[in-house]
Structure 1
């Protein structure tokens, strides 16, 4: 009997000994980040390694200010040195190693090396890092006691206007209701609103809500959301508070067809205007036809009648002979004395002058 009692006792001892190992294994299964150095100056570089990430995931590695591993990056990527960030893809086991140049973030430290997924399920991890020579300021006090909880589904209010159809920035209003489920009041909470397009991570923007939310009370909050000019496609608007994503709302933005119509009209109007301007210049520089004495322009000679015939028509075989126009005859000319009959034969006649007293001779003398 004593041996049977010892077996459960040994099993209990083994379970207690293996419990910490199981906890370490579960902790190691989550995403983690390690640094080759905890401090470095601008111009140097460090090696960032990690494990426990999703296999073949695309990650973004950044140095961010105003951040701690417990509170995350206050202000989102606006607090990070984005220009000197690096992208890396995890291997089949979810590990990675990347060399990162040291750069100063745009806000004071405390600083971290922030690693976050770009595509797929969201995951991130931070490792404490000190940028030598960069100013350090304490973080704003974290509200104690008050806890916000989302009470209703978020929605995007508003519609696109005529200017949006021509490329103006699309804008909406994110409407949601939150309640204070904590034991103390929350004054002037700061929300983070981000819009992500496709596979890219959202760009977070701080949105301040002015007011005090007492314990057990709720409030309807409206926050503006605006995209870049000419944005179109499928977007996802995310709401974050205290480093936790509260809600996500899809947003389908239409294409600004007015811009396309403008370019099409520009491609038609500009060539037409250039053509008319060129024709006006040609009309001014081309030579003018000489004018007649009467002031009119000299007409071009008419083409021959044969050139005016229709193609395929046959010319007449026996063209009509033009009828000569008769020469007019003056009334005091006889046919024999006509100027045109000078060479003709005529009867002799007496050219001697006659007088009124001289009788006219008749017949032969």
Structure 2
């Protein structure tokens, strides 16, 4: 085995490990369409920006949850103080179509409070989203907004859930992450601007670990908003966790979170324990093959034409040892193919005491005279 053979033996294991990691990076990624859908917010547009009392305006909505009911109200003072500043008796309700759109007609009446006025659209069921659009009511008095006073008090309404999924990197030990979403309402008389919450994560029966998380936005008195905060666990975390949301000293919401074991890490170490010993063994065999002397090669430092006392072979004309005679290999008779029998040699004629005329003598042929 040569060094190249040892290197070739290492490459299949390394290629397998790289292929597993490459496939892991491409699998189970969240769809882009779902991410866009999660970030989409409902919108409301009015057919008129200013309308007189006793007329009607067209209200169009888009991006709302399908098959839900929305309530439309005309309110004064930017709906500060809740629905007490709205014309509740002249409101309208409409169902949202499958595509998230709706169209409704709303009567323009004098709200109980002076303007600035808004058209407030709230989802009665579903995600309970709220959108307020300004509207000028002709002939209705306008007054300054009241100073922000009173106390703010947030309370959890509904919609507690964890958004997101684990990806392939989480399967290999990356920190799992989610978006903790909850719909809260301001039950106080003052708006809440950029509230600071505390997110706590607890593993099993242990006490939660709290971290501050700020939400950007303003929640008006009597209003509500969907809070979305990022929460993450340490790398390699698995098991049963509990995520809690606390505002001030009050725990607003809790949500369980089950995290799968990162089996990709076990697969990685298993492949590593197989590939590394195999590679070391192959490299060691290649080194031994390079260091070990070849069979039949002359020893280092020995003169080519010299004979050693231990070499009994005769030398040739040029001083080099002659090759030993080849020893015929014995062949078993029962394995040799049958050969045709050789013809028998003719038996010699018996000799007589007197040489015949036809047989020569030791001194040559007998001389005979002419005619005799």
TM-score by length of 2: 0.44
Give the structure, 1 or 2, with the largest relative contact order (CA under 8 Å, sep 6 or more).
2
